[in-house]
Amino acid sequence: MIDRATRGARRASLAALPQSPGRVLIDGIGTGLDLPLLPPQHHYVGIDLTAGMLRRALPRRQSVDFHAVQGDAMRLPFAAGSFDHAVLHLILAVVPNPHDCLAEVARVLRPGGSVLIFDKFLQPDQPALLRRLLSPAIRHVATRLDVVFEEVLAHTPTLTLESNQPALASGWFRLIRLKKI
């Protein structure tokens, strides 16, 4: 169900990966819904917290150059500057601390690299009382409903906003592109 509902937005996000081959981090690979949509010219490293998710992702890799790594998105096990690009689809609203997750991505990204984000975010100053009330309970089961992307980005000064477009659910889900300076 999630695959069908988000496939178009995922495809649109991944279309922003450059044509020239590079090393791409897929942060929070989950069950691998992005894998069949990836352009073939890159080398991909997908990280997830659990071995079970990685096992579910591997059959979706098809012919893409993909390596799975078990690890924490908030403490990436990679050297600084290891990746040309990063993909964060539906991860920032899942991790306990999205600020740490994005800061780690910035750390492992080379200068000039891009970050592609697809996730659900509140707009700055959006009341969204029901989402804010439900978030403390739901965040332990599935996802956070109260993440404001602009607040997360403010903690990572080496990343600059290039694009921020509504994707689904009247703009609750957004497609965001960042660049590392």
User: Each residue of 15-56: pLDDT tens digit?
Assistant: 999 999 999 999 999 999 999 999 999 999 999 999 999 999
- Which helix or strand (DSSP H or E) is residue 11 part of? helix 2-14
**Rounded CA separation 114/53 (Å):** 25
Which pLDDT score is estimated for 127? 64
What's the predicted TM-score (pTM) here? 0.87
Q: What are 70-119's pLDDT values in tens digits?
A: 999 999 999 999 999 999 999 998 898 999 999 999 999 999 999 999 98
According to the 3-state scheme, what is the secondary structure of 82-114? Answer: CEEEEEEECCCCCCCCHHHHHHHHHHHEEEEEE
**Rounded CA separation 145/149 (Å):** 11
CA Rg value for the chain = 15
What is residue 178's three-state secondary structure?
strand
CATH of domain 2-180: 3.40.50.150
Domain range summary for the chain, segments of one domain joined by +: 2-180
DSSP 8-class letter at 154: H
Query: Among candidates 160, 158, 69, which has minimal Cα distance to 106?
Result: 158
